[in-house]
Amino acid sequence: MRQKSRTFPGVFESLPKIRNFVVKAAKKAGFGEADVYAVELAVDEACSNIIEHAYGGEGIGDINCTCQITDKDLTFVIRDRGRPFEPDSIPEPDFSVPLDQLKSGGAGLFLMRKMMDDVRFEFTQDQGNTLTLVKHRNAK
């Protein structure tokens, strides 16, 4: 297993650097363009949500991203010290309505779950919020 961690300031200006970190790792892991984009999109959405919802604004805390590459998959573990997140409390978006009537909230979580093969949230007083995003090799 290969592993690399980076900590980024919790500001929207960090998102391009986070995306670069993710894209390099996914390419190094041997994923094709579609999977690289899926991972990039999921991590970007997660980090945007951390800044906006967990921290409630920019410059309040850091985002730690750890990438783990194995023969079977690519895993990103994203940690923050913001407000706890309960994914089960977020309803799935109603995509049957026109886009301009779509209620905000839930679309990012839905997107992460569609783009990745495994999405797990955990909160502890010691570690804060931990989001684990996994992309398997050759997943259908």
| 93-102 pLDDT, tens digit each | 555 656 565 5
CATH tag, 2-136: 3.30.565.10
Angle formed at CA 43 by CA 69 and CA 97, multiple of 5 degrees: 135
Cα 49 versus chain centre, distance:
9
The pLDDT of residue 108: 77
For residue 139, pLDDT over 70 is answered with no
* Dist. CA 79–CA 84, nearest whole Å: 11
What is the value of pTM for the model shown? 0.86
The pLDDT of residue 102: 53
The pLDDT of residue 126: 87
R_g (Cα) of the chain, nearest Å = 15
Q: Which tokens sit at 103?
A: 């209620």
